[in-house]
C-alpha cells in the first residue's frame, strides 16, 4: 500500500485517516487485501455482483490462494444474487462464508420475498455493518457497501460516502466486533443454507480471469494505477481518542436495548457547544430526534443537517418520513441542506454519472468530536438494524472531516422558510424552487405523498 507502514503500532495507539475519495476507497480495500499476511475478515450489508464487486472477490480469492485465512460475513437480505458465488468461495479450503439472519427460501426473488414476509418480525432486522479487517492490525470501517455505486463507477446513481481507515488498537476493536458477529447465533454457515459447490469454484476462477480482460476492467485498472501514482499519499496520523463501536448482534434477533449506538450518537450531539454537522441519507429523526436537534439549536449551537432531496433519494418513502420534520426544524433555526439529484459539470468526471445520492453517515461536533459509520439518523438504524462506526475526539481528524463535509454542503441546496413557504436555494443563493421538491418527478411526488399518509415511520 502506497506509503503505508503495515507494521502494527504499539499497544494502545491508533492511527487513522479518512477515505473520502471514491476511487481512493476502492484502492485502499484492494491494497489492504493484497498486503495481508495472515487473515482477511470481510463483513458487509451488501456485496454487488458488478465490476468492483468482482474485483474485490478476486482479491479475496487471491489472498486465500496464498494461504491467508479469509472469512466473509454478509447480511443475507441482498445476498441472493450471489448465492452460487459464495457457495463456490466457501468450497475453497482457505475461505469460510457465513450469512447473517438468512432467509429460509431462496430459489428465486419471489421465494425470498415470501420468506421475508412470512417471518417479517425477525427477517426485518438486518446487519447493516461495514467492516474490513486485515491481519487484525488494519481496518476500514464506514458507510460504503461493496459495489460500483459506492466507488463512483455506476452509470446511473452513485452514492458518495466516507470511510475511516484505522490501525492498531482501533483495528483490534474492529476485529473483535467481527469475531462477535461471526460466532453470533444469527450467523449461519453458507454450506448449511445454500450448500457447497467445489465445481463452481473452478467456474468462478475462470469467470474472474475473463473479467480482467474486458475493456471495462482494463479501464478501471488504469484509473486505479493513476490514483496510486498521482493521488494523495497514504498517511495515517496518530489519534489519541478514538474507538470502533457497534451494536451487539443480539439487537437483530432479541431486541435487547443494551449498548446500542443510538444513545451514544445522541449524547455526542447533546455535547455540542458551537456547531453540529449531521449527514444522513435517510433523515427521519422522529419526535425525540427532532426535539434533540431543536433543543441543541435553542442553546445557540449552529446545527446543520444534510440529507437527500426527493429527486436524489433511492428510497422515496424514507423522504416522506423526513419531510414532516423539515418545517419544524427550520422554524427552530436548524439549517437544512439537501443533496441535489444532478451533479455539476465539474464533478461529473469524479462519479462518471449525471446523478448523485448522499450515502455519508457522519456527525461532527465543534469541529473536533465525531462519528463516521453506517448509522442513519432514522428509526431503522436506531432500533431495527445493527450498525457500526468510529467515534473520535481529535482536532486534526475533525478538521479533515469538517473539510470533507463542508465541501459537500457547498454543492447542495439550502432549504429555508419564506412567509411560510419552503424555498430551495443553490450555493450562490439563487432560488431554485418554491414549495415544490426540485427536480423530483411526478411519480416521486405521488409516492412520497401517499407514503406520508401511512403509519410507516417506525420502519423507515
Per cent of the chain over pLDDT 70 is 89
**Rounded mean pLDDT, 58-75:** 97
**Domain check: are 19 and 162 in the same one?**
yes
Split into its structural domains, the chain has a count of 2
Could you tell me the residue range of the domain that residue 62 belongs to? Answer: 14-230
Distance between CA atoms of 454 and 460, rounded to whole angstroms? 12
Each residue's pLDDT tens digit, 364-386 = 999 999 999 999 999 999 999 99
**Domain check: are 390 and 414 in the same one?**
yes
Q: How many CB atoms lie within 10 A of CB 115?
A: 18
- The pLDDT confidence band at residue 452, using thresholds 50, 70 and 90, is confident
192 in a structural domain? yes
**Domain check: are 150 and 210 in the same one?**
yes
Cite the active site residues. 128, 130, 135, 359, 361, 366
**Rounded mean pLDDT, 206-233:** 91
Q: Which residues contact 48 (CB under 8 A, 6 or more apart)?
A: 145, 146, 147, 148, 149
- The pLDDT confidence band at residue 451, using thresholds 50, 70 and 90, is confident
Does the structure show a pLDDT above 50 at 97? yes
**Domain check: are 279 and 310 in the same one?**
yes
3-state secondary structure of 373: strand
247 in a structural domain? yes
Among 196, 230, 264, residue at a domain's last position: 230
Inter-residue contact 73 to 43 (CB < 8 Å): yes
DSSP H helices in 9-65: 22-35, 51-65
3 in a structural domain? no
168 in a structural domain? yes
- HEC string of 392-445 equals EECHHHHHHHHHHHHHHHCCCEEEEEECCEEEEECCCCCEEEECCCCCCCHHHH
pLDDT of residue 173: 98
Lowest mean pLDDT among 142-146, 341-345, 426-430: 341-345
6 in a structural domain? no
CA 364 from centre of chain: 17
Does the structure show a pLDDT above 90 at 81? no
Does the structure show a pLDDT above 70 at 69? yes
**Domain check: are 89 and 184 in the same one?**
yes
**Rounded mean pLDDT, 274-301:** 97
The C-alpha cell 433511492 sits at 314
- The pLDDT confidence band at residue 255, using thresholds 50, 70 and 90, is low
Per cent of the chain over pLDDT 90 is 70
3-state secondary structure of 118: helix
Question: Which range scores top for mean pLDDT: 75-89, 108-122, 198-212, 270-284?
Answer: 270-284
Lowest mean pLDDT among 340-344, 375-379, 436-440: 340-344
**Domain check: are 452 and 311 in the same one?**
yes
Among 184, 207, 230, residue at a domain's last position: 230
Distance between CA atoms of 338 and 412, rounded to whole angstroms? 6
**Domain check: are 316 and 393 in the same one?**
yes
Which residue, 2, 37, 40, is CA-closest to 23? 2
Q: Would you call 185 exposed, middle or buried from its count of C-beta atoms within 10 A (0-12, 13-18, 19+)?
A: exposed
Output the DSSP codes for 325-358: HHHHHHHTT-EEEEE-SB--GGGHHHHTSSEEEE
CATH number, position 48: 3.30.870.10
The C-alpha cell 475533525 sits at 398
Task: DSSP letter for 47, please.
Answer: B
Retrieve residue 108's grid coordinates.
428465486
Considering only residues 458 and 21, tell me which one the structure prediction assigns the higher pLDDT.
21
Does the structure show a pLDDT above 80 at 433? yes
Retrieve residue 111's grid coordinates.
421465494
152 in a structural domain? yes
Retrieve residue 320's grid coordinates.
416522506
pLDDT of residue 359: 95
Which residue, 111, 113, 85, 110, is CA-closest to 99? 85
- The pLDDT confidence band at residue 446, using thresholds 50, 70 and 90, is confident
Considering only residues 351 and 424, tell me which one the structure prediction assigns the higher pLDDT.
424
Retrieve residue 383's grid coordinates.
432500533
**Domain check: are 221 and 260 in the same one?**
no
pLDDT of residue 348: 29
pLDDT of residue 448: 85
Most distant pair of Cα atoms in the chain: their distance: 68
pLDDT of residue 84: 87
**Rounded mean pLDDT, 55-69:** 97
pLDDT of residue 116: 55
Distance between CA atoms of 304 and 285, rounded to whole angstroms? 14
**Rounded mean pLDDT, 67-92:** 90
Retrieve residue 121's grid coordinates.
418480525
pLDDT of residue 350: 30
**Domain check: are 59 and 113 in the same one?**
yes
**Domain check: are 204 and 249 in the same one?**
no
**Domain check: are 298 and 413 in the same one?**
yes
Does the structure show a pLDDT above 80 at 85? yes
Among 230, 253, 288, residue at a domain's last position: 230
- The pLDDT confidence band at residue 171, using thresholds 50, 70 and 90, is very high
- The pLDDT confidence band at residue 80, using thresholds 50, 70 and 90, is low
pLDDT of residue 8: 41
Amino acid at each position: 500500500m502506497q506509503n503505508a507502514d503495515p507494521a502494527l503500532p504499539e499497544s494502545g495507539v491508533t492511527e487513522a485517516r479518512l477515505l473520502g475519495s471514491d476511487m481512493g476507497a476502492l484502492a485502499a480495500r484492494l491494497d489492504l487485501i493484497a498486503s495481508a499476511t495472515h487473515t482477511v475478515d470481510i463483513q458487509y450489508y451488501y456485496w454487488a455482483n458488478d465490476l468492483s464487486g468482482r474485483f474485490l472477490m478476486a482479491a479475496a480469492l487471491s489472498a486465500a490462494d496464498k494461504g491467508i485465512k479469509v472469512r466473509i460475513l454478509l447480511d443475507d437480505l441482498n445476498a441472493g444474487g450471489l448465492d452460487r458465488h459464495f457457495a463456490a468461495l466457501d468450497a475453497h479450503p482457505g475461505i469460510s462464508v457465513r450469512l447473517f439472519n438468512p432467509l429460509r427460501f431462496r430459489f428465486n426473488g419471489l421465494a425470498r420475498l415470501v420468506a421475508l414476509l412470512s417471518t417479517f418480525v425477525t427477517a426485518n432486522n438486518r446487519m447493516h455493518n461495514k467492516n474490513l479487517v486485515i491481519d487484525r492490525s488494519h481496518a476500514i470501517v464506514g458507510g460504503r457497501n461493496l459495489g460500483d455505486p459506492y466507488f463512483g463507477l455506476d452509470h446511473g446513481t452513485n452514492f458518495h460516502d466516507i470511510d475511516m481507515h484505522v490501525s492498531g488498537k482501533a483495528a483490534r476493536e474492529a476485529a473483535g466486533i467481527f469475531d462477535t458477529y461471526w460466532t453470533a447465533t444469527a450467523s449461519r454457515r453458507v454450506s448449511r443454507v445454500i450448500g457447497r459447490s467445489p465445481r463452481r469454484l473452478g467456474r468462478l476462477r475462470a469467470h474472474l480471469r475473463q473479467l480482467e480482460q474486458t475493456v471495462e476492467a482494463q479501464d478501471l485498472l488504469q484509473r486505479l494505477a493513476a490514483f496510486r501514482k498521482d493521488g494523495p499519499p497514504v498517511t495515517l496520523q496518530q489519534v489519541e481518542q478514538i474507538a470502533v463501536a457497534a451494536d451487539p448482534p443480539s439487537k437483530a434477533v432479541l431486541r435487547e436495548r443494551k449498548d446500542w449506538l443510538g444513545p451514544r450518537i445522541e449524547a455526542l450531539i447533546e455535547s455540542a457547544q458551537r456547531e453540529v454537522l449531521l449527514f444522513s441519507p435517510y433523515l427521519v429523526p422522529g419526535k425525540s430526534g427532532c426535539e434533540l436537534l431543536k433543543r441543541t439549536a435553542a442553546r445557540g449551537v449552529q446545527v446543520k443537517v444534510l440529507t437527500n432531496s426527493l429527486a436524489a433519494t433511492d428510497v422515496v418513502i424514507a423522504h416522506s418520513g423526513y419531510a414532516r420534520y423539515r418545517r419544524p426544524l427550520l422554524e427552530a433555526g436548524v439549517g437544512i441542506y439537501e443533496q441535489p439529484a444532478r451533479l455539476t459539470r465539474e464533478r461529473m468526471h469524479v462519479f462518471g454519472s449525471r446523478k448523485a445520492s448522499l450515502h455519508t453517515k457522519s456527525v461532527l461536533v465543534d469541529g473536533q468530536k465525531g462519528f463516521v459509520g453506517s448509522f442513519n439518523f432514522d428509526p431503522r438504524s436506531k432500533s431495527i438494524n445493527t450498525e457500526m462506526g468510529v467515534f473520535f475526539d481529535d482536532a486534526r481528524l475533525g478538521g479533515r472531516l469538517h473539510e470533507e463535509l463542508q465541501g459537500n454542503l457547498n454543492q447542495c441546496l439550502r432549504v429555508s422558510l419564506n412567509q411560510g413557504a419552503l424555498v430551495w436555494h443553490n450555493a450562490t443563493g439563487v432560488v431554485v424552487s418554491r414549495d415544490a421538491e426540485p427536480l423530483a418527478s411526478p411519480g416521486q411526488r405521488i409516492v412520497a405523498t401517499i407514503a406520508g399518509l401511512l403509519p410507516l415511520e417506525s420502519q423507515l
